[in-house]
A and B are shown apart, each in its own frame.
Chain A
Amino acid sequence: MSDPPNSTVLSAVEASRQQASSHRGRALLASVFRALFPFTVLLGVWWGAWAIFDPPEIILVSPPTVFSAFIDAIQDGTLPTYISRSVGRLALGTLIAAAIGIPLGWLLGIDDDISSAFDPLLRFFNAVSGIAWLPAMIIWFGFTERTILVIIVYTMVFPITFNAMTGVRTIPRRYRDACRTLGAGRLRIVKEVYMPGSFPGVMTGLRLGIGFGWRALIAGEFVVGTAAGGGIGFFIFDARTQGSIRKVMAGMIVLGVLWLLADRLIFKPIEEHVNERWGAVSE
């Protein structure tokens, strides 16, 4: 681009951008259809198997039966309440885990000495999964909200920390060098290079952490049960006592669908945007 920029160039850029966005719209639609196809096949196999083998209701029920169980649970208000409880817990857990994990990851990424001292310890505790802490938590905190929260925060902190650390470490060295030649001191480099430069890593960590936290949450709700006021995990676990496979399946499908929607509609687009703008630009 050695020619001087002018309005013609800019309007041409704008026109091509609009064209590109309509292409993107069509491509998005196509990818949605592609993604739905395997689900449709799975649904077909399920429905076919049910029709052919005609199993007792305690083993397998048909898709419409599960759907009606889902509608019932919505209408009697349990599912909306439970979903909002679970999502609320996850959100609170994310806030706490991010407040701990992101600064910790920055510190480990910036200071090699601290990192070589604490890295093995962190990996040790990471291997002891959050769920393995459940018995201890129940002894300490009982069947409470706090037990669930500690488990999800514990689970989320590690991926957030490690990815924030990696985010700092993968910042090209020349960004730091360039800022030093502009006269930047250490504090400014932390604030203006390490913190924004680690943003892609932080986002990856949050996305992974929320995914892990969601699973830990379900396990926590299984065990803590009704004492903490329910939740989508409790919904599934409780259906077991009623021998209601239709409710169990409805709850499991809700779990998967909720996660898929959140990941595709919220986390992934944010991560991609962040990678483009904050990531290193390739030549």
Chain B
Amino acid sequence: MTVVDEVGGAAAVAPPTISAKGLSHAFTDAQTGRTVHALDDVDLEISAGEFVTVVGPSGCGKTTLLNILAGFIKPSVGEAYVNGRLIEKPGSDRGVVFQELAILPWRNVRRNISHGLEIQKVPKAEMSERVASIIELVGLTGFEHHHPHQLSGGMRQRVAVARTWVSDPEIILMDEPFAAVDAMTRLTLQEELGALTVRTGKTVFFITHSVEEAVFLGDRVIAMSARPGKIIDEVNVPVDRSERTWELMAHNEPLQETVEHVLNLVRGEAAGSREADI
């Protein structure tokens, strides 16, 4: 009873894990010298433990949004908060998994994964225990001493995911992490990521240009328009995340309908912007 009360009370008082209001961002393209209006009046609320995916055409400002949440850039207008604190710079409460290889080539698998723990000055014994268990979890056993150049693309992204997970950040921001991986490996990695997030209950903000990936992974899918990026609509995905597999995706009607719905949102927008261009 008391536990329920506490949880209920906390939920009522605590602000959402991530919240942003009226985010707009413009920057000058270094190559063309033109002003790029990347984001336009984006509101965002993500609760603890939620897996939110953002889908939209390339150049719709998804990555800009992630960069703001990560603290790499400051929005031109608006503010973003983590647990009520203004985001001003990167922090270890928000882990980031990048699209391209961002693990360090001169560190082996184990030392890449332990890097965040070294920085946090986690004691040696605890560090090696945590690293060993995450290595097993992501299926890198036997490759601890390999360097990134000796690994396949899929394995490198596993290292990147493991490096982020092992530091146990509250929130994980992922920027098309499987875009550069071959299609078969991608399916496996998506299922594994789904299982990992269900198991660890992390709050995840995940960017993709694949509608199927967005629906497969997310509790909620945010569809974004082409530049300047705006939120077109948000769609709650049916079927509990813990039950989703690619086989289920292929046969489950509510999931299929969701994919179609989101696809129409994104494509309608893309078509609209093409007409506007002409």
Contact = CB atoms under 8 A, between A and B. Distances in A.
22 contacts: A1-B152, A1-B154, A1-B155, A5-B139, A5-B142, A172-B100, A174-B100, A178-B96, A178-B102, A180-B72, A180-B89, A181-B92, A181-B164, A183-B120, A183-B167, A277-B149, A280-B101, A281-B101, A281-B149, A281-B156, A283-B100, A283-B153
A116 B225 CA distance: 40
A45 to B, nearest CB: 44
Interface stretch (B21-29, B126-134, B180-188): B180-188
Given A2-B154, A188-B119, A183 B92 contact: yes
Of the listed residues A1, A197, A199, A276, the one surrounded by the most CB atoms of chain B closer than 10 A to its CB is: A1
Contacts of B164: 181
A179 interface: yes
A188 B72 CA distance: 17
A181 B105 contact: no
A278 B105 CA distance: 6
A283 B90 contact: no
B82 to A, nearest CB: 13
Contacts of B155: 1
Interface string A1-40: 1101111001000000000000000000000000000000
Contacts of A1: 151-152, 154-155, 185
A182 B92 contact: yes
Nearest to B156: A281
Interface residues of B, number: 43
Given A5-B141, A182-B167, A196 B188 contact: no
Of the listed residues A6, A7, A276, A281, the one surrounded by the most CB atoms of chain B closer than 10 A to its CB is: A281
B96 A181 contact: yes
Instruction: Give the bracket for the number of chain A residues in contact with chain B.
Output: 20 to 34
A281 B91 contact: no
Interface string A165-195: 0000000101101111111100010001100
Given A1-B185, A172-B100, 17 more contacts: A2-B154, A5-B139, A5-B143, A6-B142, A7-B142, A174-B102, A178-B98, A179-B104, A181-B164, A182-B95, A182-B119, A182-B163, A183-B119, A183-B120, A192-B104, A277-B149, A279-B105
Contacts of A276: 149
B55 interface: no
B148 A281 contact: yes
A41 to B, nearest CB: 39
B115 A182 contact: yes
Given A1-B152, A177-B96, A183-B119, A199 B91 contact: no
B142 A197 contact: no
B116 interface: yes
B142 A181 contact: no
A201 B65 CA distance: 34
A209 to B, nearest CB: 22
Contacts of A182: 92, 95, 115-116, 119, 163, 167
Contacts of B95: 181-182
A177 B173 CA distance: 13
A278 B90 contact: no
B91 A181 contact: yes
Interface string A245-283: 000000000000000000000000000000011111101
B106 A278 contact: yes
Contacts of A197: 104, 106
B70 interface: yes
B162 interface: no
A180 to B, nearest CB: 4
A280 B103 CA distance: 10
A175 B89 CA distance: 16
Contacts of B141: 4-5
- List 5 tightest A-B contacts by C-beta distance, closest first: A183-B92, A182-B116, A180-B90, A178-B102, A5-B142
